[in-house]
Every structure is written in structure tokens, then in C-alpha cells.
């Protein structure tokens, strides 16, 4: 028997579906992980793809906040959710050459146009996600992109060894196949204005131009030849332009972009290794150049290893590739001769943040050191170019140099103009940009009266989840699943990491199913029934559930020993007549306490209960308002 209830409280999601609550687009990660365990790969792909038009890309480069939220991580290590997403996407995603008919099959309907035109400025993950959802809702969407290629920082900022260019092209083509029009080499402020878009008949606009401007250091020597900005360096590299770096490169910064720059620089091939006469010989020469005479790459950052903004995984990989990381050093000045970089002078950083947690680095006097360098690349942050914003646009900016938006709807201060992604919130992860694009599509759909072009603001609920609760009568888990160690994701051997060779290789079927079997099934919950007439039995206080629990997360205690906040204290007193925390006028009793964070959903307590007061009940979630 199933019961349907609706929730809009994200706190409930975080408690009952932690991986889903941790995902900015609320992908049911646990559900597709369980389907992978069962070998139902096609269904698993559909679950992963439904809320995320960039599922295949996220399977490779997502920061995986779902893994941070994964309850298994409190036991040992979280489930490798990102790698499992890649596994199913490689079988049924764009990598498998998905066509429009299969895409429509995923969403279960054909697209019907409503004749209303919407403009999207910026073809990055935020802009294209918005275009994707609007197209599925029937809008005629045109995407304007300043660069000659679409993809934003997915294409221009992430190195090819992490994200294959063909995969980006396929993912974008799947979106364009829904009827989305793409216009490249079309920059706002240079080729058109927001006023122009309105005059061309666009009823709403979503601005998602990203943050493609590198922040500069205010130190001597930044004007020297050989000083590069991280975004400019990556953009040129990813557009196929050769960048002369010399033999020794220093990267300034401690974030993921700095790591990307350092690892990309380490993949530059030298020209002084002799003639290249064939493909096989070219690869051999490149490997030899990297391994025995490659560019020396150093990374200088203010933070120590634990404080670095870059992920631990990225830091580990960089060190494996012989990137030398110098922590607790700050740039003081860039040295040069004849207008060309010759080195970087650094000083020791004694602290990065002040007592209130604000960024306020302090340096030790007399600690200057000089490092020789042919190239210095600054990777200390990014910002958006908003010089195109005009007073008549009516768009307010924040002191941080971003577009001011309502965080609930992404509406700007100008009617019908929405903004999201890095241009509104600063540089963040790709999955956050995707979430912004989807939210903008829903807000624009509401603004336009559901496609009627009314241009009237309507009430919009950001989140509505339909939850189905059903009894799991035959619940069981494979023996020893809680003792399985995380299955390492296969990586390319260090000696073969040259050029644009992909580093992470992905799971095979056996590895994927084994890793998926570690999932704790957080949506399966232990329910302690009150007993009585409804169940025909009631708890006999035998304590067998507590005795059999392998994690000792169930405890049966006297109510007099329990303290609680006022609302729970009142509910226990009124509903059950039980006194806790000193409530007067009620009888004492026993209270069953369960630690949800330690529970591994083994179901032994339900199987052991002699009077069937404990059952396993499953929550399954869906979005009535979801696109598709």
C-alpha cells in the first residue's frame, strides 16, 4: 500500500535523500545507483538524465556535492556517484550517439511550439540548460554566444584531458536538436543590446555570460612579457592556439583553475626534440619530452594544503604529475630583464584569514625568496565583464561586480530580464550553473503566463517534490555490503598522461555494480509503528531490535532520561501522554531513539521484531513540476 504526500521543504530532502538534497538539480542519485546495482542500466541513465541536460559532462567534471552529502561517507567513504553517472551515460547518453527520438523517449513527449520567443545570452552550462528546458516547454529559443564556439567555460576553461571536446559537442547538439537556435560570434554590447532583443520580439531574456575575465595582481612586474592570465591562457589553449611558455612555469593561485593551469602547462610539448615523422613516433616523442625534459611547473599559493580551495583529488593528481606546490607563499613582485619575465619573488604567508574568517593575508618581514621562471600565470580568480550594461537597461549591479538578482527566481531589477550562473553569483561549479539555468527557465515560464506571452508575474514555487511512501515487505541487502571498500576509479598510468589523453578512464560493469552495492539506500527507512488496533500488535519492550543492531544506533530508554526541544516535548506529552524533560501531569514511559546517521539500513531490526512493530518503508521522489 502506497501513500502520496508532497513536500517543499529542502531540509526534509537533506534528511531523507541526502545525495538528492546535496545535488543542485536534485538528481535522485541513490535511485540510479540502486538501478546500477541491479543491472538496470538504461533505467539508471533515464533517472540521471531527466533533471540534467549535461549529465554526460557532469559524469566527468562535476564537483559531486552529492558525494559530500552521501551518508555512506560517515561510515567510511562516500559512494563514487560521479563515476557511476559516467558509467551509465557512456552506455545510453550522447556518447552512445543518442538521437532526437531517444531524447524524446527519455522525456516521454514531443515538443509543441507555442510561438513565444525567448533570448538566452551566453552558451555556457547555465544558458544552455535554460534553453533546453524552455525548448521542452515549447518556446522558440535563440542563444547568443560571444565566442566562436558554444559551451562557455566547459569548452574554454576545462582542459581537454579532463573533458573531451567531442563529448561537449554531442551534449550541445542534443540540446540544439530540440529546436534551439545558436548564434556564435554575437556579443552583447558589441553586436546587440538588450533593447535590440526586445525590439526583435523576444518576450524575455536570460543573461548567462559567465566570468571570463581574470583578476589581476597589484604587484610590480605584471606588465612584463611572459605574464599571463589563467582564463586567457586556458581559452587560447582550448581554442587551439599555441602558447609559448618556456621551460619553467610558475602558477599563482590555490584553486581548481590554478591546478588546471598548472596541469595544462605541464602537458606542453617541447619543439627541440627532433623531427616527427608519424603518429606513433609523435606520441613516443611527446612522452619522452614530458618524462625526461618537460617544462618544470610550480604552483605558489597563500594557503597550506588543508586550506587550498582546490579539491583534494585535484591536488593529489597534480602532485602525481610532478607539479611542485609551494604553500604559504605569497607573490611580492615579478622580476624581469629587457621587458621579459625572469622570476617571481615570494614572501612567507603567516595567515590567510583574520579572526572573523575574512580573507586578510599577513606576511612575514624578511622572508623574500626568488624563483626563476620563463612564464608566470596568474590564477587568482575570475570576474564578469559588465561594461555592456547601460542605464536604460534598468539592471542593478552588486558591489561584487555581479548582476543583482532575486535568488528565488533569478529576476533582475528589469522586468522580463533574468540572470544566473557566474555573472550573478561569481565563479562556481558547472552543476550550480545548470541548476540556475533550470530555475531561470521555470521563472521565465511563470513570467510569461505558462507560454501565453502575458508578461505577468505569477506565483512560483521553487521546489515541489511528490513523495510516495510504500511498505517494503521483502526488504533485504546482500551479505557484507557495509564492509565493502570504495572501488577505485581506473586512471591512466602517470607515464601516459601526456597531451590531451584522458586521465580518468571510468568503471567497467563489474566495478560499477560492486561500487553501487555499497549504497546504504537512505530512502529505505526503519519505521517504528505505534502498535494497537491498526497493526494488531504493540511493542513489548523486549529490546531485541537494539540487541541485533550492528551499528548500535537503536536505544530503548526511560522517557525520564530524554530531553527535547519544546515542540517535541509538547507533542510527546499531548499525543502519547509521556513525560520527557520534566513535563508534569503525565505518566512516564519508554522512548525508542534511533541515530539516523549511523543506521546502515540493514533491516535486521524489522526482521527480528517478534510482534512486527518495525517495518521498512521506502520513499520515492518525483517532481510534478519537472520539465518532461
pLDDT(100) > 70:
no
Q: What is the pLDDT of residue 258?
A: 57
Query: Mean pLDDT in the chain?
Result: 79
503-526 average pLDDT score: 88
Q: What is the pLDDT of residue 15?
A: 67
Percent helix, strand, coil in the chain, to 5, is 35, 20, 45
Give pLDDT tens digits for 313-338. 777 777 877 778 888 998 899 999 99
Alpha carbons within 13 A on the beta-carbon side of 359? 6
Give pLDDT tens digits for 433-454. 999 999 999 999 999 987 554 4
260-284 average pLDDT score: 42
Give me the percent of the chain exceeding a pLDDT of 70.
Answer: 75
The span from the CA of 512 to the CA of 501, in Å, is 22
pLDDT(500) > 70:
no
What are the two backbone dihedrals, phi and then psi, of residue 331, each rounded to the nearest 5 degrees? -70, 130
pLDDT(622) > 70:
no
The span from the CA of 299 to the CA of 82, in Å, is 27
Higher pLDDT, 426 or 267: 426
Q: Which three three-digit cell numbers place residue 272?
A: 627541440
| Ordered domains of the chain (ranges, CATH) | 2-99+469-516 (1.10.1060), 111-212+384-447 (3.50.50.60), 218-380 (3.50.50.60), 524-622 (3.30.70.3270)
Between strands 465-471 and 614-622, the pairing is antiparallel
Residue with cell 583553475: 257
Q: pTM above 0.85?
A: no
Distances (CA, A) of 190 to 90, 151, 187, 208, 385: 39, 20, 5, 16, 12
Per-residue confidence band for 150, with pLDDT thresholds at 50, 70 and 90: very high
Q: Which three three-digit cell numbers place residue 84?
A: 557511476
Residue with cell 543491472: 39
pLDDT(624) > 60:
no
Could you tell me if 332 and 345 are in contact, meaning their C-beta atoms sit under 8 angstroms apart?
yes
Q: What is the pLDDT of residue 309?
A: 75
Q: What is the pLDDT of residue 212?
A: 83
Q: Label residue 176 left, alpha or beta by phi (over 0 means left) and psi (-120 to 50 means alpha).
A: alpha
Between strands 213-214 and 382-383, the pairing is antiparallel
* Nearest one of 345, 416, 422 to 376, comparing CA atoms: 345
Higher pLDDT, 491 or 514: 514
- Helix axes 81-92 and 41-49, enclosed angle (nearest 10): 110
Give me the percent of the chain exceeding a pLDDT of 90.
Answer: 37
Instruction: Judge residue 132's burial from the number of C-beta atoms within 10 Å of its C-beta, 0-12 exposed, 13-18 middle, 19 or more buried.
Output: buried
Instruction: Judge residue 82's burial from the number of C-beta atoms within 10 Å of its C-beta, 0-12 exposed, 13-18 middle, 19 or more buried.
Output: buried
Give pLDDT tens digits for 190-242. 999 999 999 999 999 999 999 888 777 788 999 999 888 877 877 877 777 77
Between strands 417-419 and 204-207, the pairing is parallel
Q: Where are the alpha helices (DSSP H) in 294-362?
A: 312-320
Amino acid at each position: 500500500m502506497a501513500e502520496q504526500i508532497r513536500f517543499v521543504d529542502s531540509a526534509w530532502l537533506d534528511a531523507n535523500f541526502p545525495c538528492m538534497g546535496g545535488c543542485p538539480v536534485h538528481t535522485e542519485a541513490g535511485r540510479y545507483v540502486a538501478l546500477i546495482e541491479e543491472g538496470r542500466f538504461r533505467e539508471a541513465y533515464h533517472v540521471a538524465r531527466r533533471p540534467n541536460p549535461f549529465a554526460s559532462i557532469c559524469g566527468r567534471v562535476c564537483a559531486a556535492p552529492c558525494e559530500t552529502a552521501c551518508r555512506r561517507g560517515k561510515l567510511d567513504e562516500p559512494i563514487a556517484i560521479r563515476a557511476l553517472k559516467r558509467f551509465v551515460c557512456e552506455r545510453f547518453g550522447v556518447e552512445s550517439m543518442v538521437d532526437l527520438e531517444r531524447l524524446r523517449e527519455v522525456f516521454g513527449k514531443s515538443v509543441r511550439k507555442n510561438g513565444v520567443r525567448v533570448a538566452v545570452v551566453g552558451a555556457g552550462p547555465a544558458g544552455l540548460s535554460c534553453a533546453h528546458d524552455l525548448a521542452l516547454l515549447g518556446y522558440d529559443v535563440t542563444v547568443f554566444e560571444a565566442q566562436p564556439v558554444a559551451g562557455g567555460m566547459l569548452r574554454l576553461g576545462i582542459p581537454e584531458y579532463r573533458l573531451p571536446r567531442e563529448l561537449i559537442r554531442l551534449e550541445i547538439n542534443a540540446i540544439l536538436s530540440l529546436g534551439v537556435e545558436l548564434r556564435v560570434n554575437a556579443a552583447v554590447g558589441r553586436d546587440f543590446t538588450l533593447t535590440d532583443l526586445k525590439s526583435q520580439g523576444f518576450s524575455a531574456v536570460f543573461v548567462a555570460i559567465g566570468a571570463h575575465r581574470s583578476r589581476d595582481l597589484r604587484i610590480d612586474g605584471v606588465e612584463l612579457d611572459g605574464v599571463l592570465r589563467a582564463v586567457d591562457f586556458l581559452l587560447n589553449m582550448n581554442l587551439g592556439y599555441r602558447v609559448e611558455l618556456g621551460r619553467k612555469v610558475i602558477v599563482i593561485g590555490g584553486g581548481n583553475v590554478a591546478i588546471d593551469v598548472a596541469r595544462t602547462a605541464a602537458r606542453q610539448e617541447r619543439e627541440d626534440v627532433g623531427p616527427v615523422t608519424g603518429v606513433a613516433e609523435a606520441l613516443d616523442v611527446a612522452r619522452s619530452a614530458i618524462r625526461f625534459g618537460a617544462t618544470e611547473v610550480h604552483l605558489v599559493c597563500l594557503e597550506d594544503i588543508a586550506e587550498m580551495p582546490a579539491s583534494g583529488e585535484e591536488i593529489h593528481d597534480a602532485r602525481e604529475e610532478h607539479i611542485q606546490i609551494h604553500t604559504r607563499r605569497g607573490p611580492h613582485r615579478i622580476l624581469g630583464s629587457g621587458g621579459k619575465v625572469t622570476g617571481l619573488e615570494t614572501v612567507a604567508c603567516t595567515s590567510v584569514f583574520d579572526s572573523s574568517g575574512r580573507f586578510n593575508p599577513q606576511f612575514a618581514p624578511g622572508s623574500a625568496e626568488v624563483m626563476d621562471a620563463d612564464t608566470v600565470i596568474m590564477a587568482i580568480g575570475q570576474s564578469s565583464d559588465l561594461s555592456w550594461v547601460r542605464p536604460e537597461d534598468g539592471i542593478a549591479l552588486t558591489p561584487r561586480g555581479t548582476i543583482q538578482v532575486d535568488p528565488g527566481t533569478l529576476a533582475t531589477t528589469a522586468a522580463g530580464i533574468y540572470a544566473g550562473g557566474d555573472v550573478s553569483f561569481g565563479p562556481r561549479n558547472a552543476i550550480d550553473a545548470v541548476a540556475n539555468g533550470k530555475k531561470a527557465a521555470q521563472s521565465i515560464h511563470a513570467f510569461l503566463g505558462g507560454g501565453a506571452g502575458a508578461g505577468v508575474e505569477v506565483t512560483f514555487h521553487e521546489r515541489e517534490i511528490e513523495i510516495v511512501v510504500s511498505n517494503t515487505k521483502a526488504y533485504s541487502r546482500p551479505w557484507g555490503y557495509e564492509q565493502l571498500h570504495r572501488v577505485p576509479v581506473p586512471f591512466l598510468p602517470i607515464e601516459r598522461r601526456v597531451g590531451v589523453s584522458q586521465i580518468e578512464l571510468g568503471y567497467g560493469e563489474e566495478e560499477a555494480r560492486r561500487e553501487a552495492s555499497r549504497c546504504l539506500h537512505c530512502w529505505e527507512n526503519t519505521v517504528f509503528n505505534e502498535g494497537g488496533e491498526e497493526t494488531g500488535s504493540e511493542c513489548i519492550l523486549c529490546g531485541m531490535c537494539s540487541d541485533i543492531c550492528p551499528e548500535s544506533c537503536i536505544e530503548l530508554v526511560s522517557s525520564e532520561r530524554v530531553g527535547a526541544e519544546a515542540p517535541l516535548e509538547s507533542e510527546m506529552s499531548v499525543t502519547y501522554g509521556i513525560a520527557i524533560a520534566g513535563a508534569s501531569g503525565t505518566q512516564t514511559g519508554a522512548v525508542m531513539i534511533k541515530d539516523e546517521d549511523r543506521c546502515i539500513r540493514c533491516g535486521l531490526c524489522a526482521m527480528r521484531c517478534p510482534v512486527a512493530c518495525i517495518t521498512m518503508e521506502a520513499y520515492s521522489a518525483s517532481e510534478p513540476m519537472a520539465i518532461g
